[in-house]
Structure 1
Amino acid sequence: MTAKLNRAVRCTAAVLAAVAIGAGATACDSSGDSSSKAAGSHSDTALNLSSSGKQGGSQDKAGSDNAGTDNAGSGNAGSDKAGTQESSGTPARTTAQQGSRTDAVNPVSTTSTTSRCHTNELGYTWGGPHGGRPDMNTTYQQQVTIRLTNKSTHTCTLRGYPGVQLVSTTGETWDLLRSSDMPSTLTLKPGDDTAMVSMSILPAQKNDPDVKPFVPAQILLTPPNETTHATLAWPYGGAILDQSGASRPGTFVNPVGIG
């Protein structure tokens, strides 16, 4: 009887030990899964952070590239890689829109062909609202303007960019690129002279050995969406920095605006 009781006690102890061991193993497995899940979660988080960082880097780079494209060419002819500020304190220069067209065609225009101001219906005179002249003895960016007068007997409208071609004293030509300004529609009654073509120019000194000067003699001006031009003699003398081969030159034309 005593032997049987001892065997039963031993068997019970063995069962309890086995149960305890099984529970411990289950606990360990559960802990391992939790750790694994936690590690996976951290890995996913790290991946997300890495992706976010990469995206941010791309944005930073894009921002840097965009800022870089605003630099005006102030060095040798055809160069558009230069700082936006001279060491002498020259104000930042604006530049033409990269890849902009040079003709008088404006694809998005609300001006009808019947009401549009035609080339032979307009008068062309130099000078802005205050009759100012550009300083051709400086290297600072200057503004030149041509006032447009409706000489017809009917009301007409202008909208968009004109085509502007510079002709040098040696016969070279330079078709000006456009700025990034948004055009607006101008309505001219007979005799109105409130429309104006403005151009930003970057003068150059003729005797500067480091630059190629473009010495203008004439300007051929084609009003927006017209196919014929008016010819005006250049009245200001001096020279313009030749950036005819640059993608973002400091000499360019703006849309027709109010003068």
Structure 2
Amino acid sequence: MSAKLHRAVRCAAAVLAVIAVGAGATACDSSGPSSSAKAAAPSNAAKDSTSDQAKDSSSNTQGGSQDAAQQSGNGVKKTAEKGSRTDAVNVAATTAEETKRCHTGELRYSWGGPHGGAPDMEADYQQIASIRLTNSGGRTCTLHGFPGVRLISTSGTAWDLHRSSVKPSTITLHPGDDTAMVAMDILPLPSTMKGPKPFRVSTVLLTPPDETTHVTLKWPYGGAILDQSGATRPGTFIDPIVIG
């Protein structure tokens, strides 16, 4: 009995040892993946951070491109909105011409075309209203290009005349010369014609080419012209300075 008892004790001990080893192995196996997951977490966080930075960078780049495109589009739009010039600035004028040009205060202004001609305000076709320019200064000066002309109606409405397609030339005025003319093509509205809107001119604001100050002249011819102040190609417009 004693020998059998000893064998039973040894077998029980062996079983307990096997159980203990198995439990330990199970514990090690269960802790392995957990530790591995914990170690992988910082790596995934780094990837997420890198991904977020890439997204931010991409977003900033796309936003910058969109802003630049929008600004360019606005620039194109603003450029597209500009119409025909109605001022006295002539882009083709050279520095030498600007130095020699006649200034507003050096000129004298009077109505009347060649031989004292005046427009027929009862005509139903285009007429010419001219302003003669005389060099009243003490030096020789030049005129080149289009003047700025603004018509003011009897009701106070302003109309800046568009330029014609006539190519300008340079005119030289010695002291006392009066050979320069401002020619306005106008489309009269006969008093017998009912329906169209009349523009009754009261005064004319005239700015010599490339100058910034104007003179005010009273309209001497009465009558009315056809109101085409909002038209793209009106029948009343301004020609460049000519010799007359």
Same fold (TM over 0.5): yes
Distance of 1:106 and 1:184 partners within structure 2:
12
SS at match of 1:112: helix
Q: Choose 199-208 or 131-140, whichever is displaced more.
A: 199-208
- In the alignment, which residue of structure 2 is the partner of 1:193? 178
Stretch deviating more after TM superposition (201-210 or 183-192):
201-210
Rounded Cα–Cα distance in structure 1 between residues aligned with 2:93 and 2:181: 18
* Alignment RMSD: 1.1
Q: Say which SS state the counterpart of residue 136 (structure 1) adopts.
A: coil
Asked if 1:121 corresponds to 2:106, the answer is: yes
Residue 233 of structure 1, aligned match among 209, 218, 238: 218
1:103-160 superposed Cα distances (whole Å, 9 cap, x missing partner): 0000011353321100010000011111111110121110110000000000000000
| 2:91 alignment partner, one of 87, 99, 107 | 107
Residue 3 (structure 2) aligns with: none
Unaligned 5+ runs, structure 1: 1-98
Quick one: distance in 1 between partners of 2:234 and 2:165? 13
Deviations 1:62-92 (A, max 9, x none): xxxxxxxxxxxxxxxxxxxxxxxxxxxxxxx
Indicate the structure with greater helix content.
2
Asked whether the equivalents of residues 142 and 200 of structure 1 are also in contact (C-alpha less than 8 Å), the reply is yes
Measure, in 1, the Cα distance between the counterparts of 2:189 and 2:145: 29
Residue among 203, 227, 236 paired with 1:242: 227
Matched letter for residue 114 of structure 1 = T
Instruction: Give the percent of matched residue pairs that are identical in Structure 1 and Structure 2.
Output: 65
Shift of 1:206: 4.4
What is the CA–CA distance in structure 1 between the aligned matches of 2:109 and 2:146, rounded to whole Å? 16
1:203 is paired with a residue whose SS is: coil
Q: Distance in 2 between matches of 1:241 and 1:167?
A: 14
Letter in 2 for 1:189: H
Higher relative contact order (CA 8 A, sep 6+): 1
Letter of the 1:210 partner, please give it: G
Ranges in structure 2 where 5+ consecutive residues have no aligned partner? 1-82
Aligned to 2:137: 152
Q: Distance in 2 between matches of 1:231 and 1:125?
A: 11
Does structure 2 retain, via aligned residues, the 8 Å contact 1:158–1:185? yes
Matched, 1:133 2:126: no
Structure 2 residue corresponding to 1:177, chosen from 159, 162, 169? 162
> Which whole-Å CA distance do the structure 2 matches of 1:101 and 1:215 have between them?
23
Alpha carbons 1:205, 1:213 under 8 Å: kept? no
- TM-score for both structures, normalised by structure 2: 0.64
Mapped partners of 2:85, 2:124: distance in 1: 26
Q: Where does residue 166 of structure 1 map in the other structure?
A: 151
Rg larger for: 2
Residue 209 of structure 1 aligns to which amino acid in structure 2? K
Distance 1:207 1:136 in 2: 11
Matches within 5 A, 1:1-259: 99-110=83-94, 111-206=96-191, 208-259=193-244
Distance 1:100 1:127 in 2: 27
Opposite residue 124 of structure 1, the aligned amino acid is: Y
For residues 173 and 100 of structure 2, what CA distance do their matches in structure 1 show?
A: 10
